[in-house]
């Protein structure tokens, strides 16, 4: 029996267990199960205990708040994890536990499907600077899409300055056709929240991508669509990163 699972906290609304359980059933994949490992504080002692208590574990997914907490607990990293600076897939390779990042692949593939074929010259605003933004930043860098970060608190004097929401003018919105929400604003059950943007400046030339998948249309996307923007939510990315995780575990 091969055991896979998800490490994170909380895991009340986990996508992964349902997805992989259905995958194993629908694709007739034998001797595989997917479990939830809810860990509030991830340290060496409880990570080692989790592995010892589950000797058949072949790999983990990792979700908030542990995508960076897990870094010092692993033996080495794939180039994807090194590029992003965060891990959401762990694979047991012999006696080593190796970190990967499939969010990077999932987002990049979904974004390329969403944008027009010729997207050169487009600039992006990345809303949020948490763990989820790191895979987005890495993918944008790979695709050679210039971007600016936006957060509740502006940060200047660093290599990549962070804009505050209160600094977003109409001119900035007009100059950034791609707007990506990596923050939890608008996620169920808080569906009446959204990033504080000057939505009246969004036009039919804009592309709004929300990493959230529940609900399927966040208030952020609704407001953008009302202005004529093209919109995309995060379910496709989630499926793509899950399939990449499965590929990693089986390569």
Assess whether 120 carries a catalytic annotation.
no
Of 105, 109, 13, 116, which Cα lies nearest the Cα of 64? 13
pTM: 0.91
Which one from 49, 51, 67, 120 is the annotated catalytic residue?
A: 67
- Domains of the chain (ranges plus CATH)? 2-100 (3.40.50.10860), 104-236 (3.40.50.720)
**Count of residues making up the chain:** 251
Cis amide linkage into residue 144, ω under 30° from 0: no
Residue 207 pairs in a beta bridge with 178, 230
- The pLDDT tens digits for 51-85 are 999 999 999 999 988 999 999 999 999 999 999 99
C-alpha–C-alpha distance, residues 137 and 151, integer Å: 14
Percentage of the chain modeled with pLDDT above 90:
89
Of 58, 27, 17, which Cα lies nearest the Cα of 238? 17
Give the CA-trace dihedral at 215, 216, 218, 224, to 10 degrees. Answer: -170
Give the CA-trace dihedral at 244, 121, 160, 219, to 10 degrees. Answer: -70
- The pLDDT tens digits for 107-137 are 999 999 999 998 989 999 999 998 789 999 9
């Amino acid at each position: 029996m091969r055991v896979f699972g998800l490490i994170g906290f909380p895991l009340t609304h986990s996508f992964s267990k349902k997805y992989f359980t259905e995958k194993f059933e629908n694709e007739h994949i034998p001797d595989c199960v997917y479990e939830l490992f809810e860990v509030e504080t991830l340290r060496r002692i409880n990570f080692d205990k989790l592995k010892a208590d589950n000797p058949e574990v072949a790999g983990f997914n990792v979700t908030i708040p542990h995508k960076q907490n897990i870094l010092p607990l692993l033996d080495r990293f794939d180039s994807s994890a090194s590029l992003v600076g965060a891990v959401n897939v762990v694979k047991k390779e012999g006696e080593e536990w190796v970190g990967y990042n499939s969010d990077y692949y999932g987002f990049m593939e979904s974004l390329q499907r969403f944008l027009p074929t010729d997207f050169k010259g487009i600039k992006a605003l990345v809303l949020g600077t948490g763990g989820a933004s790191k895979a987005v930043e890495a993918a944008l860098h790979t695709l050679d899409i210039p971007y600016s970060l936006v957060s509740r608190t502006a940060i200047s004097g660093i290599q990549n300055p962070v804009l505050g929401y209160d600094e977003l003018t109409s001119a900035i919105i007009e100059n950034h056709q791609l707007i990506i929400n990596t923050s939890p604003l608008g996620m169920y059950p808080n569906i009446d929240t959204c990033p504080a943007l000057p939505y009246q400046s969004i036009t039919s030339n804009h592309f709004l991508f929300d990493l959230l998948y529940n609900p399927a249309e966040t208030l952020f996307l609704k407001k953008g669509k009302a202005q004529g923007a093209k919109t995309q939510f995060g379910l496709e990315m989630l499926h793509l990163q899950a399939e990449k995780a499965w590929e990693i575990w089986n390569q």
